[in-house]
Structure formats: C-alpha cells, structure tokens
Amino acid sequence: MDRLLRYLVISDIHANLEALEATLAAAGRYDRALGLGDLVGYGADPNAVIDRIRGLKNPVLIRGNHDKVGAGLEDVDGFNHLARFAIEWTAAALTPANRDWLAHVPHGPIVVDETVEICHGTPFDEDVYVFDDLDALRAIRAARRPLCLFGHTHVPAAYILGTNAELSMVPMTRVSPLDITLGHGHTLINVGAVGQPRDGDARAAFGCYDTETRTVTLMRAGYDVSVTQSKIIAAGLPEVLAHRLALGR
C-alpha cells in the first residue's frame, strides 16, 4: 500500500437520499468511499442518490441485486411483491442516463488493495446472503484478501477466521472499533445499511476502515425519517416501505 488511507464504507442506500446525506455529513474526513451495492430500490430518490454517488471523488463501487434489476440487467423473478413493486417503479423513474450508468456499475467482488476486497453478497456469489456461520465460512474461504467487506443483509456483523481455523462472530458496536488483526487470519464484515437498516436501529449505518490502525468502526447517523417516509408515500410506493424505516426493520 502506497500510503495510509481511511475508507468510508457504505452499502444498501436504497434510494434514501436523506440517509445518504446524513452519512456523508457524519463521516468526517475520508480518502475514498467504498460502495457495496444497492444504490436503488425501495426508496423514492433513485436519481438523486445516483447523482450524489456519481459526484463523489473516485469511489470504488459494485452493484447490488436491486441495481441489476433496476437497470434492466435481470428480471424480477427473485423479488418478493414489495421489492418487485418498488424496483419496477424505480426502473420507470430512472433517467436514461442514470439507468445506463447503473447498468455499467461492475459486479463484485473487487479487490481494493492488498488488504481489502468488497462484495455485495459474498465473494463467490454476489446475490447470496450471509446469515450464519456456514455462510460466513464459505465467504471467507472464497475471499482473496484478509478483510472482506460485504452488504446485502442490512445487518451489522463481523466474523473472524483465525489461524487455528476456528470461526468466531464478533459483535460490531458503535463504541468499539474492531481490530481486524484480532484473529490473525481473515475477517468478514458488514457495517449495515445506510438507507434501510434492519437491526432495530433506524439511524443510517455505515463504517470506516483505517488502514493505519487496521480497524473497522461501525458508525450511525440520525436523519429526519419523516421526510423520507413522506416522499415514499407521495411517490405511490407501498406505505409499508415508509413505515419500516422508523422501526429499523
């Protein structure tokens, strides 16, 4: 690595402009943003979110499953009825320029540097969810770097595979940066969702990875959820997509 860096880690924005703006304001200084997929879907501001992300300085981005469908690269067969309604609305709402740009966001995994790589679901399949130890172990074994950052589940989680081949799940908390050298092996981390958290905390969730201290810190940013809810309802999207934001579910 040529120099020490501070990476901003953001995932699953889901067209929530207010949560994204709050995240960028709360992040403080960072050298580069890592975007782990699902810029669109569920929310009412797909174009504004894409425009904001496109305006960031030299981000490293990968697509998510909602991005693929919204851009017309895949059909909606794997989506439930709420996600299907929302992504069909999104596809119609996207400008031609933003739809084309979204279609060219690369799939993961992407190696960022000698320490970290990013994926949406897992390194072996961008659409697979990591829900338990077995999923995490498969993901870690497929990773090409000591630290793999992932999204997709909307829930903060950290798994460490030590040199003794034992996998441990380590709590991700806002008050304690996670030292990725703890296991002296490989680490798999999800910092949660910016635009639609599902861990019972309505605040936007994001992370920072400091290459000097080798720590990943989970961070939260509060925002006016009612503004986002009003936009979703005014757009004619299902009201449950608005209500769930206040619950962090």
Helix (H, G, I), strand (E, B) or coil at 9: strand
Q: Which residue reads 């940013």 in tokens?
A: 221
Strand order across the beta sheet in which 215-221 lies:
60-61, 32-35, 6-10, 204-210, 215-221, 178-179
Domain positions in the chain are 6-247
Identify the CA nearest to 38 among candidates 58, 25, 19, 57. Answer: 19
Q: Kindly report the CATH number that applies to the domain delimited by 6-247.
A: 3.60.21.10
Digits of tens for pLDDT over the chain (249 positions)? 456 789 999 999 999 999 999 999 999 999 999 999 999 999 999 999 999 999 998 899 999 999 999 999 999 998 999 999 999 999 999 999 999 999 999 999 999 999 999 999 999 999 999 999 999 999 999 999 999 999 999 999 999 987 777 788 877 766 567 776 644 578 999 999 999 999 999 999 999 999 888 889 999 999 999 999 999 999 999 999 999 999 999
Beta carbons of 47 and 93 less than 8 angstroms apart: yes
Regarding beta strands 110-111 and 167-169, do their DSSP bridges make them parallel or antiparallel, or are they unpaired?
unpaired
